[in-house]
């Protein structure tokens, strides 16, 4: 106990003496501290960008849930994202928590197939030649992922043009942040 008290007083003395020597360099110390915070922030943001791109643009899919009182209750907090039909609900697969998903799966209310939502009618016209099992709703049309193999790669690129554009944008942001890191490090 006495040693701790001894050191606590010494710490203040040591820092006051150090500050006296470091005072002329206070601006540089502040800039270095800010750069360290910026680099740490960038290191934290890069995985978040990756997660966002994968969840929302690359693996964008919807779950098909059987319409029931329990499913409506569970999906009520996602009203803005869910798409209701006569006897089914489509909801983005990344919204449900693990507990909610397991509860619905236990009650056999989630169907195993994942779906891709297509909003534009122009894209839907291109798909008529493939004789797909398309589920039509008032907010868009849903195609099972298992039937995506029937579609040519050019048509898939056309259907997912907005997703590809966002992936490219986030890739540029990611690379920009990565290139920004080495520029900051020599300043330290």
pLDDT per position as a tens digit, 86-131: 889 999 988 888 998 888 888 888 988 999 888 877 777 778 888 8
Chain length of the chain: 188
Output the pLDDT for position 183: 67
Q: Identify each DSSP E strand in the chain by its residue range.
A: 62-66, 83-84, 88-92, 110-118, 135-136, 141-144
Output the pLDDT for position 91: 92
The pTM score is 0.67
Query: For the chain, how are helix, strand and coil distributed in percent, rounded to 5?
Result: 65, 15, 20
Residues 6+ apart with CB under 8 A from 145: 61, 113, 114, 115, 116
Mark 51-71 as b/e (b = at least 16 C-beta within 10 Å).
eebeeebeebbbbbbeeeeeb
Q: Find the largest Cα–Cα distance for the chain.
A: 85
Which parts of the chain have pLDDT scores under 70? 1-10, 181-188
Output the pLDDT for position 180: 75
Output the pLDDT for position 137: 87
């Amino acid at each position: 106990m006495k040693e701790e008290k001894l050191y606590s007083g010494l710490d203040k003395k040591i820092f006051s003496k150090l500050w006296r020597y470091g005072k002329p360099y206070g601006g540089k110390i502040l800039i270095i501290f800010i750069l360290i915070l910026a680099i740490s922030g960038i290191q934290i943001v890069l995985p978040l960008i990756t997660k966002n791109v994968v969840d929302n643009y690359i693996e964008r899919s919807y779950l098909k849930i059987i319409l029931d009182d329990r499913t409506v209750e569970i999906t009520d907090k996602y009203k803005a994202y869910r798409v209701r039909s006569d006897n089914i609900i489509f909801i983005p697969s990344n919204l449900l928590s693990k507990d909610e998903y397991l509860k619905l799966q236990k009650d056999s209310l989630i169907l195993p197939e994942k779906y891709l939502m297509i909003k534009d009618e122009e894209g839907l016209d291109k798909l008529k030649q493939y004789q797909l099992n398309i589920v039509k709703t008032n907010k868009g049309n849903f195609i099972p992922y298992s039937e995506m193999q029937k579609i040519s790669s050019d048509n898939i690129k056309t259907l997912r043009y907005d997703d590809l554009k966002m992936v490219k944008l986030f890739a540029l942001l990611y690379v920009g942040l990565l290139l920004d890191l080495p520029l900051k490090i020599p300043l330290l």
